[in-house]
Amino acid sequence: MKLNKNDANAQVRKLNPAYRAVLIYGRDEGLVRERAEKIAKQIAPDLRDPFLVANIEPGRLKDEPALLADEAAAISMMGGQRVIRVDGAGENVTAAAKSFLDDPIGDGLVIITAGSLKATAGLVKLFNKAKNAAAIACYEDDQGNLQSLILEVMGAHNLGLEPEAAIYLQHNLGGDRMVSRGELEKLALYMGPSEGGRRMVSLNDARACVGDSGTLTLDMIAEATTGGDLKTLDDTLFKAFNRGENAIPILRNVARRLQKLHLVRGSMDQGMGAEQAVMAVVYNKFSPEKKSLMAQLGKWSTSKLGNALDIVFEAEAECKITGLPAEAICARACLRIANAARMR
């Protein structure tokens, strides 16, 4: 059966006993693993128990399609229902899965995990049509799912979130469920045990732990550049280049930051208040970017921002046509702009 989002969440919490097999697949590999483990633990709390959990390599099922049904029918030496795991599957397990679902024997639960499969894939269509099986698609967390995950992990550790910290986490997590959960657990460990009441996670706390994503590093470079923070600029540029970041995305991110400041300054020149002008480009009053932009407005005029944008555009052109080291061109441009921000 094909499950929608709400039905999928319900089955992950408590699987319908009518389902003899579950296919869990999608782009978010972390969410695939997490859901597979949650469903498996409904049957076998200890997934390392060899009497209750059997693991089959997908490649074996292509040559031995009956193996899946045999494992599902096997009786545990210690008693109890068994789980049969087939991880990293593809179309090579479709025949075995069909043979089992057509005539399921025993009481074993088959859990098959796969990567990003199309809705037209034979394996997906098989599970969508079967009345005794379920297909659960896993995609990257949207804001609603991510917020639920953040609240779940923080609540489990008796931690609350200041508004700025909550927004920061939503903007810098979400590519992979297991990675996001790991980052949140790391944050909880950083905060330490909560004694004598609920502790609140601040923006600085969140930044200290969840601060190594590519997007975040680029944003920190742009903020340090327009803020004239030479030490942070040097550190973040080194980190970005050390892990192979390209100079062009860095320059374009700096340009976006300058364009926001330019728009804000232009609105202020027309008589708009600073906070109102910033909110026109940030939208959320709790966003860390709002506070950052407000703090840097005094360093810039409209004409200075225009000159800074020219520096960025020239640097990008030089990276593309001169053949000189792009990292050096990028660093020099950022340094020129940062020094301009320091000059009153």
Total structural domains in the chain? 3
Q: Are residues 58 and 133 in the same domain?
A: yes
Q: Are residues 95 and 161 in the same domain?
A: no
DSSP per residue, 16-50: -TT-SEEEEEES-HHHHHHHHHHHHHTT-S-TT-T
Q: Are residues 230 and 334 in the same domain?
A: yes
Q: Are residues 218 and 301 in the same domain?
A: yes
3-state DSSP call for residue 112? strand
Residue closest to 39 by CA, chosen among 27, 59, 28, 53: 53
Last residue of a domain, one of 90, 105, 138: 138
Residue closest to 75 by CA, chosen among 107, 44, 50: 107
* Number of residues written out for the chain: 344
CATH number at residue 127: 3.40.50.300
Last residue of a domain, one of 138, 171, 189: 138
Q: Are residues 109 and 158 in the same domain?
A: no
Digitized pLDDT (tens) for each residue of the chain, 344 residues in all = 778 777 888 899 999 999 999 999 987 777 888 899 999 999 999 988 989 999 999 989 988 999 999 999 998 877 889 999 999 898 999 999 999 999 998 899 999 999 888 888 999 999 999 999 999 998 766 667 788 889 999 999 999 999 888 888 887 786 667 778 888 998 999 898 877 678 899 988 888 887 655 455 688 899 999 999 999 999 889 888 887 788 998 999 999 999 999 999 999 999 999 999 998 887 667 777 888 899 999 999 999 999 999 999 999 999 999 889 999 999 999 999 999 999 87
Q: Are residues 131 and 19 in the same domain?
A: yes
Q: 20 and 72 in contact (C-beta within 8 Å)?
A: yes
Q: Which domain holds residue 93?
A: 5-138
CATH number at residue 241: 1.20.272.10
Q: Write out the two tokens for 324.
A: 């000189």
Last residue of a domain, one of 191, 209, 227: 209
Residue closest to 317 by CA, chosen among 329, 331, 327, 306: 329
Tokens 């297991």 belong to residue: 178
Q: How far apart are CA 279 and CA 238, in angstroms?
A: 32
